[in-house]
Amino acid sequence: MKKILLLGSGELGKELTISLKRIGCYVITCDSYENAPAMQVSDQAEVFNMLDKNKLQEIIETHQPDFIVPEVEAIETQVLLEAEKNGYTVIPSAKAVNLTMNRDRIRDRAKNLGLPTASFAYAETEQELILEAKKIGTKVAVKPVMSSSGKGQSYATTKDELKSSWKFAIEGMRGNRKRVIVEEFIDFDYEITLLTILEKSGNVSFCEPIGHFQERGDYQYSWQPANCSKIVIENAQEAACKMVSDLGGSGIFGVEFFVDKKGKVIFSELSPRPHDTGMVTMYTQNYSQFDIHARVLLGLPLPEIKLNRPGASHVILAEKNATGNYVIEGIEKALEDQSVDLRIFGKPFLKPYRRMGVIMAETLDKAKIAARKVSVQSKA
């Protein structure tokens, strides 16, 4: 029985744990709070700060896992580089996890590989941000180099807006690097995630592209297949193949692209793990992104991935000022449409805009309608 140490226990980790357990793995889940989604379905759980170098090292040595599988970005990745040197297997590879933990490193890598990206620069002070933004153009996106799900991310055009963006980024950053990336704002036509599979043999394959819509830098809904032209798919596949081959290892990657009005494919970012917009694959594909990640990380043969049917996903979010306990209402109503399926993540408490569940349906309209019927209510 293979032992998996899962670093991060959110909704993606929960589904991955289920996929791993179905094929006989023993899963130890980690996160900074108790009863996180993946912990509810795993064999064992550890609650600690994964940015704490010594603690993370200690947990790895205690459990001696066959595979260390990161599910989030906020991990002390230096420990993973060392663990790999000492013979542990990090999924997809310690290099991939280390480079993607910080937006600047993966951007630099994409640029070095010759991929089209938005123009970008870095800043470590408010003044520097204003200076760099001016060089880039009128409208820019500002993001902490270390963050996810849109945290600390904003857009700015004026000096005052840049000042607020700086403040917002520093408040929203994870880890201890006071550094932001400032990017040219791309007025894209649409954006996609290309789930890209890298097998240990080096073989690269793809799922059908997923279209998605974001708000506050966070995913709201997604659909598969995205309506891309053949040339857009080919260009995205070529770029994704370059990126994952360079990062190495084995697993599924979420490679994000913007497609501009002229059909140009612009690399945005990459996650070396299942992707939130890819939850739709639980509905559409014969094997979901979680089943694929599980198979590939274990080095098992990969079945042919097929799109069984088109589909869409829509998040169920907590309200803007939500905190504390909650109840979810309206599930019966949402399920009246027989094409609808859902996942409720079982997070133990609310936070503002926290993702609490996801609706899946055969069309985007149906997913939106069903999602409107479900509400997350605070409970005293």
Ligand X SMILES: Nc1ncnc2c1ncn2[C@@H]1O[C@H](COP(=O)(O)OP(=O)(O)O)[C@@H](O)[C@H]1O
The residues that are catalytic are 148, 150, 256, 269, 276-277, 355
In the complex, least distance from residue 224 CB atom to ligand X, rounded to whole angstroms: 16
Q: How far apart are CA 292 and CA 204, in angstroms?
A: 13
Secondary structure class of 359 (helix, strand, coil): strand
In the complex, least distance from residue 34 CB atom to ligand X, rounded to whole angstroms: 25
In the complex, least distance from residue 105 CB atom to ligand X, rounded to whole angstroms: 13
Q: Which is nearer to ligand X, 91 or 169 (CB)?
A: 169
Q: Which is nearer to ligand X, 149 or 285 (CB)?
A: 149
In the complex, least distance from residue 218 CB atom to ligand X, rounded to whole angstroms: 7
Secondary structure class of 186 (helix, strand, coil): coil
Helix 126-136 to helix 159-172 angle (10° resolution) is 120
Q: Which is nearer to ligand X, 156 or 367 (CB)?
A: 156
Q: Which is nearer to ligand X, 208 or 276 (CB)?
A: 276
Cis peptide before 225 (omega within 30 of 0): yes
Q: Which is nearer to ligand X, 5 or 115 (CB)?
A: 115
Q: Exposed (0-12), middle (13-18) or buried (19+): which is 303, by Cβ within 10 Å?
A: exposed
Secondary structure of 192-258 as H, E, C letters: EEEEEEECCCCCEEECCCEEEEEECCEEEEEEECCCCCHHHHHHHHHHHHHHHHHHCCCEEEEEEEE
Secondary structure class of 352 (helix, strand, coil): coil
In the complex, least distance from residue 259 CB atom to ligand X, rounded to whole angstroms: 12
Task: Kindly list the distances between the CA atom of residue 17 and the CA atoms of 3, 153, 270, in Å, as whole numbers in the listed order.
Answer: 11, 30, 22
In the complex, least distance from residue 143 CB atom to ligand X, rounded to whole angstroms: 6
Instruction: State the DSSP code for 303.
Output: P
- 140 and 163 Cβ atoms separated by less than 8 Å: no
Binding-site ranges for ligand X (CB under 6 A): 118, 141, 148-150, 183-186, 191, 214, 217, 256, 268-269
Q: How far apart are CA 114 and CA 110, in angstroms?
A: 6
Q: How far apart are CA 149 and CA 217, in angstroms?
A: 6
Strands 180-184 vs 120-123: parallel, antiparallel or unpaired: antiparallel
Q: Which is nearer to ligand X, 5 or 312 (CB)?
A: 312
